[in-house]
Structure 1
Amino acid sequence: MEGATKQHFFFHGLPGREAEKSKCHFCQIRSFTTHAEYPITITNIHDELVLEPGFRFVQNSHLGRGVQRANDEFRVGCDCQDAEECQYEGCTCLDELEGSDEEPDEDNIRYRRKKYAYHSHGVKAGHLRTEVLESRDPIYECHDGCACGPDCPNRVVERGRKLPLQIFRTENRGWGVKSPVDINTGQFIDKYLGEIITPKEAARRRAKSDISQRKDVYLFALDKFSDPESPDERLRGPPLEVDGEFMSGPTRFINHSCDPNLRIFARVGDHADKHIHDLAFFAIRDIAKGTELTFDYVDGVEDSQNDAMNPATTKDMTPCLCGSKKCRGYLW
């Protein structure tokens, strides 16, 4: 680890080091547009291991071969003139958002219905509302195709990560992630990024992997809207998948826990691109600074608890090392 940091800090500012710099993880994260305000750091006090040399940090997911976004003629966005109209006057981006609550207007005289997934006022502004946080419902946001503007409160994930993160070497579970600042319940952490690939390519990569379970750690299906009856043919068949093994952001290094403090939510911007929805991490409880960030790799998968208790299935399952009181004993 010391050798890697020495190479970066003492040599990567010199001319002729461009090829070397392009492969340097420290140079990659320092090139992020958010680095000055919300830096990503990497530390290891346990051994001399460094991140996999072939891994590359990216700020956005990359579309793999055969993956396409919707054509321009199918793209949609709201025509709201401001955030007030977005929140209360029937924003088209929120048509499919389930649930709502009531909030007093400026004069505290009457109550109006709101549909944001987020709190829009006070200290909780930008945090997921409780009923959304406790569900597994998708989040619908305004986006760059909308008229409401970049300051619209319904663009939390779109505006990106707003807190620093540290990738660190754990004692027994490889690399992990924590933050040097306190995190509040409902706060957005970051997206899971990677190469978005076809189901066929995902199957090929799994088959090629020496240990298929290891590959599954980095592959996430974009299946939130999969439906054999969907009028959108892209949602009727097997879903696309995000592979973060070779390129991703810091969330790629978040470990599993059977009692996690984060949850992944599907986030939709342009409704025409539901087949390429975002995977967004949010805190499901308050997290003190320096606490390892975790999520449940099999969150929402039924019968995982029963499988972990069945000797006939546990012989082929991956042991869990989360150490929580609710540990199921096995991952999958």
Structure 2
Amino acid sequence: MKKATRQHFFFHGELGRDDEKKNCHFCQIRSFATHTRFPVTIINTEDNAVLDPDFRFVDRSILGNGVELTKKEFLTGCECIDGDDCQYNTCNCLQDVEDDSSDDDDNAAADEKSYRGKFRKRTYAYHTHGAKAGRLRSKILASRDPIYECHESCVCPQDCPNRVVERGRKIPLQVFRTTNRGWGVRSTVDIKKGQFVDKYMGEVITAREANGRRAKSHIAQRKDVYLFALDKFSDPDSYDERLRGPPLEVDGEFMSGPTRFVNHSCDPNMRIFARVGDHADKHLHDLALFAVRDIPRGEELTFDYVDGIDDSDNDALDPKMQKDMTRCLCRSKNCRGYLW
């Protein structure tokens, strides 16, 4: 690790080292637009291990072969004049969200009361006022509902309260070497319940390509640690042919952001949500990680790799099946023993 950092800090400012700098993890994360305010750092005080030299840090997902964005003529955004207009009128981005003024974690009367003295229903997934502004409402946080946001095609301003994931990561993250689970991730600041942490990014590939990579992997179940299906809106009866077929998948093994190194826990402090910008790109929705409880700085960040999967027929209960299963190392009180 010291050798890798020495190379970066002492030699990568010199001319003629472009190829070397391109493959340097420290140079890659320093190139992020958010580096000055919300840096990503890498630290190892456990052993001499370094990150896989073939891995590349990216700050946005990369479309693989056969994956295309929706044509511009089919993209739509809202025409709201401000954040209030988005929340309380007929914002196109919220067309699939039911009006709902209920919440279970705050006395929201003042929050919902308009400047005209009337009560108005909220449709944002986020709190919009006070200390909790920008955090997911508890009702959404406890669900598996998708999040619908305003986006780059919208007229509403950049400070619209419905652009949380759209504005990107606002938390400094540190990739660190754990004592027993390889690399992990933590934050150098406190994180509040409902706060957006970061997206899971990688190469977006077709289902066919994903299955091919599984087949080539030495241990197919190990490959599934990095593959996440964009299947939130898959529907065999959908009018959109892209949602009727097998979903695209995000492969973070060889290129991703720092969340690629987040470990699994059966009692996680984060949850992953499907975040939709333009409705025409539902098949390419984001995978956004939010804190499900307050997380003190320095605590390892985790999420449940198999969240939402029915394990009523848990093969881990069968000793014959256990030899082929991936053992869980989270050590939480409610650990299920095996991942899959």
Residue aligned with 2:250, SS: strand
Q: What pairs up with 1:155-304 in 2 under 5 angstroms?
A: 155-303=163-311
Instruction: Give the residue type in structure 2 aligned to 1:79.
Output: E
2 CA distance for matches of 1:295 and 1:132? 16
Give the drift of 1:105.
2.8
Deviation at 1:98, TM superposition (A): 4.0
How much identity, in percent, do the aligned residues show? 67
User: Conserved in 2, the CA contact under 8 Å of 1:305 and 1:328?
Assistant: no
- The 2-side partners of 1:99 and 1:207 are apart by 45
Quote the offset at 1:214 in angstroms: 1.4
Q: How does 1:65-84 map to 2 (within 5 A)?
A: 65-84=65-84
1:31 counterpart residue number: 31
What CA RMSD, in Å, does the superposition of the two structures yield over aligned residues? 1.2
The yes-or-no answer on 1:9 pairing with 2:9 is: yes
**Aligned 1:87-102 pairs, distance under 5 A:** 87-98=87-98, 100-101=100-101
Matched, 1:310 2:318: yes
Residue in structure 2 matched with residue 136 of structure 1 by the alignment:
144
Q: For residue 20 of structure 1, what is the aligned residue in structure 2?
A: 20
Letter in 2 for 1:302: D
Stretches of 4+ aligned residues off by more than 3 angstroms: none
| C-alpha distance in structure 2 between counterparts of 1:82 and 1:110, whole Å | 19
Structure 1 unaligned segments of length 5 or more: list them.
none
User: Which residue matches 1:150?
Assistant: 158
Deviation at 1:99, TM superposition (A): 5.5
Q: Which moved more, 1:135-144 or 1:299-308?
A: 299-308
In structure 1, distance between residues paired with 2:240 and 2:324: 37
| 1:326 is aligned to 2:334 | yes
Deviations 1:242-283 (A, max 9, x none): 000010000000000000000000000000000000000000
Change (3 A) 1:299 1:99: farther
Letter paired with 1:36 = T
Contact 2:112 2:122 in 1 (8 A): no
Question: 1:274 and 1:104, CA in 2 relative to 1: closer, same or farther beyond 3 A?
Answer: closer
Residue 275 of structure 2 aligns to a residue whose secondary structure is strand
3-state DSSP class of the match of 2:42? strand
Q: Which amino acid aligns with 1:66?
A: G
Structure 2 length normalisation: TM-score?
0.95
TM-score by length of 1: 0.98
Alignment partners' CA distance in 2, 1:304 and 1:290: 34
